[in-house]
Amino acid sequence: MDARLNFFTDPTAGKAIKHFMAAGKALKESPLPAATQELVALRVSQINGCAVCIDMHTKEAAAAGETSVRLHLVAAWREATVFTEAERAALELAEEGTRIADAAGGVSDEVWALAAKHYDEEQLNALVILISFMNTANRMNVITRQPAGDYKPGQFH
């Protein structure tokens, strides 16, 4: 499959992508645990069907030491026993934040309170921005049919 567009070859898109990727790098440097970041990025990408982001975040997480069991169970995290309570709260926030159109009320107060129980304000800011960032990246990649499978860990960071 060939991509419909190459964001890096267009001058305007290339400039915008450079700033967009800088935002992603800033999130990587936040106090939100790296494992949580990769699990959330992977789950949002699974929901949105973004193959290139699933490829990227699976490989990044594995390169950082994440286990294959946990990576395989992200799609069914509610039934899995391998995630901490904090990770489960982040995954639930990611799901509700990604499925906004499916839930008339958006993110529920209960889900927000559970996330706030496990993460401080700086981590919550990073988590909310990460969820939004991943939804944007997923949409850009899905719309333009970016191919998956060739990502190498560290390629974009």
Going residue by residue through the chain, which has 157 residues, state the pLDDT in tens, using 9 for 90 and above. 789 998 889 999 999 999 999 999 999 999 999 999 999 999 999 999 999 999 999 999 999 999 999 999 999 999 999 999 999 999 999 999 999 988 667 899 999 999 999 999 999 999 999 999 999 999 999 999 999 989 898 887 6
Q: What is the pTM of this model?
A: 0.93
CA angle 146, 8, 136 (to 5 degrees): 55
Q: d(Cα 130, Cα 41) in Å, to the nearest integer?
A: 7
Task: Give which of 44, 153, 25 is closest to 92, Cα–Cα.
Answer: 44
106: left (phi over 0), alpha (psi -120 to 50) or beta: left
